[in-house]
Structure 1
Amino acid sequence: MRRRKFIEALSFAGIAGAVKPSQLLAAEQHAESLSLYKNDRQYWYELLHKIANPVVSNLAKGTLKKNMPLEKSATFDSRSLSVTYLEAVGRTYAGIAPWIALPNDNSREGIMRKGLKEDAITGLNKCFDPAGADLLNFSKDYQPIVDSAYLAQAFLRAPVALWQPLDSLTKQRIIASFKSLRNRKPFNSNWLLFGSITEAFLLSIGEEYDNGRLMHGVKSLNDWYKGDGWYGDGPNLAFDYYNSFVIHPMMVDTLRVLVDHKLEEEKTYDVALIRMQRYAVGQERMISPEGTYPPIGRSITYRTGAFQALSQVALMEKLPETIAPAQVRCALTKVKKNMYSVPGTFDKNNWLKLGFCGHQPEIADYYTSTGSLYMATLSFLPLGLPATNLFWTQEPVDWTAKKAWSGQSFQKDYHVDY
């Protein structure tokens, strides 16, 4: 019975037939352990801690470069592998920011969260020290444009928890590092938003900012909007998850800063939010009754980072009335359990390994290495909602595809004109 139930949970993509008997047994045992969690929230925060802690704790100790494995795509290009460390830091911090922004408490969760937050601050103070072992690279290659943006987004998501506690010297070093990127232009794609949000963060803290770089991303993405919640990635539409990895979250977060500083009108932000909500509706419907989703397009090794847009709309408590918060919670919980319980996802020290569902290095893109994978943390944003929030307390409910494929009544879907 135990084996049958586990294989049913892994019935997608031929996974059960692809793993060795020893791996199947290990995964069965892991699946059994999932039932030990008293609720979805506990499962989420313990999984986020498992993913993020190797990055954050090693950074705090000054041992990130020493201890982080360096696995790269077989087609990895000519960029320096040193970019992988900033990738790991920027992406991880963007994912944990809402959770560690919650107030301290003495619960088991609170103690784990406080420890991660303290390590995050210690690590930032160390990795911008020119004499430190983990000094991050902002000066070489174009990749730092990307991951400075995720770090900037982390500061925007948790200014009190992540930015304010830093010592003044570290703050000045971060500001200087962000400004040093201006000698490289983002590519004419979603990358333009990386420049925009980094400058938006500088604006938010009263620093001198590059107005052209700040506004160019927002204007270009608006020009590339294709309709019904989808932006083009450049002039053309790319059917992948970059509307979620980058475009909607960074568009909305950048516009919020611009509106707050009277550089854009509120209605511009409202339109971007409506588009993001529409995209989130599609994301919720893409989750199958079994809790899987299509491995479409580039960067599928970023795993559940594909659901950042849906997760951020939930965090903002802006889900459309047609989607109950519990639908999103239950759907994403099932996706996480399917994905992160597969053998090969983590190494023995809990570092993420290349793959979509398990260890599949052959599917990694030419720009992908170990640090890239920490985009996965971006699906955990609703942990920034307190445990008393409806997202966590609402009784379990089936998500749209599960309702539809079991003969239940479900909400009909229509396009939006924005």
Structure 2
Amino acid sequence: MSKPGESWTRDDLVQFTDRSLLALRRWATPGRARFDLPGPRVGSGPERDGLEAFARSFLAVGFRLSAAEIDSHDHAGWYAAGLAAGTDPESPEFWPSLRELPQARVEAAAIAIALHESRRWIWDALTPAVKQRVIDWLSGSVGIAYPDNNWRWFQNVTQAFLRSVGGPYDQAELDENLTFLDDCYLGDGWYSDGRPDRRTGNVDWYVGWVMHLFSLWYCRMSEGEPGIAELQARYAERLRPYLTDAADLFGADGAPLHQGRSLVYRHAVVGALWTGAVFDANPLPLGRLRRTALGAIRFFAERGAFDEDGLLSLGWLGRFEPMRQPYSGPGSPYWASLGLAGLVLPESHPVWAEPEQPTPIETGDVVRPIRPIGWLVSGTADDGIVRVINHGVDHSTATPAPENPYYNRYGYSSVTGPVPAPAGTADGAVDQQVALIDPDGRWSQRPMIERVAVDDHRASSRQRARFARTEPEQGFDDGPELTCVSLVRGSVEVRAVRFDDHDQASAALVISGYAVPRKPAEGARTGLHSAVTALTEGGSSGSSVHPVANAFGADLEVPWCRFEHPEPGRWYVIALCLGEREPAWPTLADTPSGPVITWPDGTTDPL
């Protein structure tokens, strides 16, 4: 990571954007309505994938041209030609309709924002016939059902553009979507994606790059409409606390927290930061905001995110296709264009001129709660690593689903990823779990989490230990209810576990730490130290090496502590770390009022 005063400038961001856009052109179809990129295809075919690459890169063009004075690479002409061909029913490159291809509803939203931002460059220059064809294609968003999740915003921004150019829209649909999305709000800036019951079942970077960015862009595209000024004020007020939290989820090297789905979108994670500056909803010093946003983009640019052809690959550091979701095609990573939203701010905006400020993790340790979602954030200055201890976010609906490694684990960081398996087996423990092993050798999962409390450097939760039934049966057998407490100081977490069910025997209790690859991927942090030690007597420590890979490398080593035949009503306490060296460990003492943790500096914490 660059030092203060050495980060990218707006000119660097412009040049970066131009290079990434120009690299796509060799893959364009003759009419320029698609980019047929190399890579794995999604089942719906090349038309879907090609449209996705066009629309998502067009989003970057919209941001790029919004405040531009010149267009030296003729991005406007290139994408205007693609719009004309893609919306022409007589063209061999005619795009699938929003009714026949659900994915087109996402891409229509990207096109709508791009058209709005580049209006004076592209829309105003289109012929009346092409304008009408574009309106006709986008009009497929009216009167169709969008899924009950962040996609509701895609319908709204698409119709907001249609409304702005005299096209059809349905105000009742817009209002219904606003109500649904409001019901997903958890408070203090955080949303659950598609959970109007306000469970924190689906929380990840979508909170920033869709729920916040799209809500305010909907207002930007609806300026002057009744009630929009009040709506924008409400969304801006929600964005401020989110940015206060999210800005601490980046390591000192610019790396974002590695948690949740669709991580191949990479620097889309900074879209919400730029949105704060665009809508005067930024609680951060502008110099810090710029440093964080540009630092994350630069992190990926310098660590292999773009392949030898200059294309944004499916992966995190470099290409790692196992990360892709079932809906991810070769054009999917260009959703990273959301991270370029700051280009709508002209060169004269203070965000580009304020003196750069280091982030808090560069000047001292950070430990803070994110209460609505049950997270503790721990950032350490000596290694620049951010860790999140998770006592609230899972990936189940109202009923338990198999544990998702990217949501249900106890810990995530900016330098590690999870083992891609739902639970441990006889071959070893997977990362960041508290698991009971039943007499049949099954390892419990943590599909549903009940947040108890999050405050300062302490968090607690309850979970029902659930054992997956053997195939062909589906579902889980319920085990004991576990209470778990985490105490965090620096790179060390103390994790305490107990259960009170007296009628269910368990063969063992296993508590595991972070997975570190023995064979790091190019660009990944090396020299990491992940360890677990027992503070309660009777625990045995070891490690398991999984012959699999994640985005950070292969042969994933997981440290663990195991307690044989755990007893109900007793606390089992371990300490774990992730850093560059072995820490000084805390100690545990049993007192008349209960267990007490003593940290190396003499500070104490009761459980």
Which has the higher Rg, Structure 1 or Structure 2?
A: 2
Closer, same or farther: CA 373–192 of 1 in aligned 2, 3 Å: same
Closer, same or farther: CA 83–328 of 1 in aligned 2, 3 Å: same
Which residue is equivalent to 2:91?
Answer: 132
Cα separation, 1, equivalents of 2:110 and 2:165: 16
* RMSD (Å), alpha carbons: 2.8
Cα separation, 2, equivalents of 1:367 and 1:210: 28
Which residue is equivalent to 1:14?
Answer: none
1:93 pairs, out of 39, 44, 58, with: 58
Task: State the 1:183 CA deviation.
Answer: 5.8
2:359 pairs, out of 391, 399, 416, with: 399
Task: State the AA in 2 paired with 1:156.
Answer: H
Cα separation, 1, equivalents of 2:119 and 2:268: 22
* Range with bigger deviation, 53-62 or 216-225: 53-62
Which residue is equivalent to 2:336?
Answer: 376
Which residue is equivalent to 1:145?
Answer: 105
Are 1:43 and 2:12 counterparts?
Answer: yes
Task: State the AA in 1 paired with 2:89.
Answer: P
Which residue is equivalent to 1:303?
Answer: 266
Which residue is equivalent to 1:339?
Answer: 300
Cα separation, 2, equivalents of 1:277 and 1:61: 45
Per-residue Cα deviation, 1:186-231 (whole angstroms, up to 9, x for no partner): 1111111111111111111122212232222211111221101012
% same residue: 22
Task: State the 1:103 CA deviation.
Answer: 4.1
Closer, same or farther: CA 169–234 of 1 in aligned 2, 3 Å: same
- Equivalent positions of 1:80-229 (< 5 A) are 80-105=45-70, 111-112=72-73, 115-138=74-97, 139-182=99-142, 184-229=144-189
Which residue is equivalent to 2:242?
Answer: 279
Task: State the 1:118 CA deviation.
Answer: 2.9
Cα separation, 2, equivalents of 1:54 and 1:251: 31
SS at match of 2:256: coil
Cα separation, 1, equivalents of 2:192 and 2:22: 35
Closer, same or farther: CA 66–313 of 1 in aligned 2, 3 Å: closer
Closer, same or farther: CA 127–58 of 1 in aligned 2, 3 Å: farther
Task: State the 1:83 CA deviation.
Answer: 1.5
- Equivalent positions of 1:239-278 (< 5 A) are 239-258=203-222, 260-262=224-226, 264=227, 266-278=229-241
Is the Cα–Cα contact under 8 Å of residues 60 and 123 in structure 1 kept in the other structure?
A: no
Unaligned runs of 5+ in 1: 1-8, 10-30, 32-36, 408-412
* Higher strand residue share: 2
Which residue is equivalent to 2:309?
Answer: 349
Task: State the AA in 2 paired with 1:331.
Answer: T
Is the Cα–Cα contact under 8 Å of residues 262 and 324 in structure 2 kept in the other structure?
A: yes
Are 1:328 and 2:292 counterparts?
Answer: no
Per-residue Cα deviation, 1:300-336 (whole angstroms, up to 9, x for no partner): 001101221112222334422xx22221222222222
Cα separation, 1, equivalents of 2:294 and 2:131: 36
SS at match of 1:226: strand
Count of residues paired in the alignment: 362
Task: State the AA in 2 paired with 1:127.
Answer: G
Is the Cα–Cα contact under 8 Å of residues 33 and 85 in structure 2 kept in the other structure?
A: no
Is the Cα–Cα contact under 8 Å of residues 36 and 50 in structure 2 kept in the other structure?
A: no
Which residue is equivalent to 1:79?
Answer: 44
Task: State the 1:142 CA deviation.
Answer: 0.9
Closer, same or farther: CA 66–162 of 1 in aligned 2, 3 Å: closer
Cα separation, 2, equivalents of 1:182 and 1:346: 37
Cα separation, 1, equivalents of 2:205 and 2:331: 18
Cα separation, 1, equivalents of 2:34 and 2:65: 24
Task: State the 1:173 CA deviation.
Answer: 1.0
Task: State the AA in 2 paired with 1:333.
Answer: L
* Range with bigger deviation, 193-202 or 177-186: 177-186
Closer, same or farther: CA 318–203 of 1 in aligned 2, 3 Å: same
Is the Cα–Cα contact under 8 Å of residues 228 and 278 in structure 1 kept in the other structure?
A: yes
Which residue is equivalent to 1:18?
Answer: none
The normalised TM-score by structure 1 is: 0.78
Which residue is equivalent to 1:410?
Answer: none
Cα separation, 1, equivalents of 2:248 and 2:77: 38
Per-residue Cα deviation, 1:12-54 (whole angstroms, up to 9, x for no partner): xxxxxxxxxxxxxxxxxxx9xxxxx995223211211122234
Closer, same or farther: CA 369–60 of 1 in aligned 2, 3 Å: closer
Closer, same or farther: CA 396–355 of 1 in aligned 2, 3 Å: same
Task: State the 1:81 CA deviation.
Answer: 4.1
Is the Cα–Cα contact under 8 Å of residues 51 and 95 in structure 2 kept in the other structure?
A: yes
Cα separation, 1, equivalents of 2:340 and 2:7: 18
1:289 pairs, out of 230, 252, 264, with: 252
Which residue is equivalent to 1:13?
Answer: none
Per-residue Cα deviation, 1:366-391 (whole angstroms, up to 9, x for no partner): 10011111111111121222223322
Task: State the 1:396 CA deviation.
Answer: 2.3
Is the Cα–Cα contact under 8 Å of residues 268 and 339 in structure 2 kept in the other structure?
A: yes
Closer, same or farther: CA 190–101 of 1 in aligned 2, 3 Å: same
* Range with bigger deviation, 329-338 or 365-374: 329-338
Is the Cα–Cα contact under 8 Å of residues 271 and 338 in structure 2 kept in the other structure?
A: yes
SS at match of 1:376: helix
Closer, same or farther: CA 92–277 of 1 in aligned 2, 3 Å: farther
